[in-house]
Amino acid sequence: MKTRNGGATVLEEGIALLCRGDGDIQELLGGGNTGRTLPLLNKYVEVIERFNPSLSLVSATEHRELVIRHILDSLAPLGVLRRLVRLTSLQVADVGSGAGLPGIPLAIALPDCFFTLIERKTRRAEFLRNTLSVLGLPNAAVEEREMEKAPRFRFGIITFRAFRPLEPAILKRLFRLLVSGGALAAYKGRQEKIAAEMRDVSDLIGSWEVIPCPVPFLDEERHLVIIRPIGSM
C-alpha cells in the first residue's frame, strides 16, 4: 500500500473526498464499509499493476495516476448510479470492459447489483476472469463476446468508459440490450465534446442528462451522461 508522506493513501484520501460530496457514496464506501471495500480496491490496483506491462491494460504507469484516472474516476459517479439502479434493475453491464473499468470498482462498491463485464478480446477477458477470482467477487461475471452478440433486453444499466464515440449504429446496439425503462451511463469528459456527440444521435434518443462528476485530484472535466431510448419512462 503506497502512502503520501507516510499518511493516508491517495485512494483513501480520494474516497474520503467523494464521500464528503455525496451521502450515497458515504453510505457505500465510508463508515463500516471501508474495511470491506478499501482492501478489495487496493488488491485490484495491485493486480492491474502486475499485469499492465504485459497486457497494456491502462495508459497510466505511475501508481498515483492509475488510482486517480482509473479507480477514483470509476467511482466518482457512484452515488448517481446507485440512485439509478434503484429505479431500473440491479443487472448492470460494463461494455468494452477492458481492464474492468468502471465495472470492477462499481461491483466492489455495489454488492447488491450484478455486473456483467462484456469484453471481446480474449487476453483481456482472461485477465478479467482471473481478477474476479483473485478478488472473490460473487456479483460479477465475464462474457467474452462482441457487444452486438449479447442477449437482448437484459440490463437495467449499461456503463461504458473509453469505449467508442457515440454514433447511431453503436447506440442502437446498446439500446437493444436494455430492459424497459433502462438507461445508458456513459463516462465522458468535456461538456462541449459531449454536446457535439449527442447532436449526431439526437434522433434516436428519448432523453439525456449530463451530470458533473468531478474526480479528486484531477483537474479535468468529467461527466456521466445518462441516455434513455425513445419511449423509455
Query: Measuring CA to CA, how many Å separate 86 from each of 38, 83, 183?
Result: 24, 5, 12
d(CA 164, CA 222): 16
Q: What is the pLDDT of residue 128?
A: 98
Cis amide prior to 214 (ω within 30 degrees)? no
* Integer Cα distance of 131 and 146 in angstroms: 20
For residue 4, the model assigns a pLDDT of 46
pLDDT reading at 53 higher than 50 = yes
Q: What is the overall mean pLDDT for the chain?
A: 93
Q: Regarding the domain with residue range 77-229, which homologous superfamily does it belong to in the CATH classification?
A: Vaccinia Virus protein VP39 (3.40.50.150)
DSSP state of 230: T
**Residue 153 neighbours by CB distance under 10 Å:** 10
* 3 pLDDT more than 60: no
pLDDT at 6: 47
pLDDT at 41: 98
Distance CA 41, CA 104 (A): 9
190 pLDDT higher than 80: yes
Give SS3 for 109: helix
Residue 124: φ, ψ to 5°: -75, -35
Q: What is the pLDDT of residue 61?
A: 86
Q: Does the pLDDT value for residue 187 go beyond 90? A: yes
Delimiting residues of CATH 3.40.50.150 domain(s) in the chain: 77-229
Whole-number Å distance between alpha carbons of 95 and 152 = 14
Q: What is the mean pLDDT of residues 165-176?
A: 89
SS3 73: helix
Q: What is the mean pLDDT of the segment spanning 41-64? A: 96
Write the pLDDT tens digit of every residue in 54-97.
999 999 989 999 999 999 999 999 999 999 998 888 999 999 99
Mean pLDDT of 124-141: 98
Strand blocks (E) in 47-128: 91-95, 114-118
**H helix and E strand count, the chain:** 10, 7
pLDDT tier, 2 (very low <50, low <70, confident <90, very high otherwise): low
| Mean pLDDT, rounded, for 189-216 | 93
pLDDT beyond 80 at 220? yes
For residues 78 and 96, give the distance between their C-alpha atoms in angstroms, rounded to a whole number: 19
- Mean pLDDT over 156-171 rounds to 87
Cell of 42: 487496493
- Model confidence band, residue 231 (pLDDT cutoffs 50, 70, 90): confident
Q: Is the distance from CB of 9 to CB of 63 less than 8 angstroms?
A: no
The answer to whether residue 5 scores a pLDDT higher than 50 is no
Q: Are strands 91-95 and 155-161 parallel, antiparallel or unpaired?
A: parallel
Residue 163, pLDDT > 90, answer no
Q: Give the per-residue pLDDT at 160.
A: 94
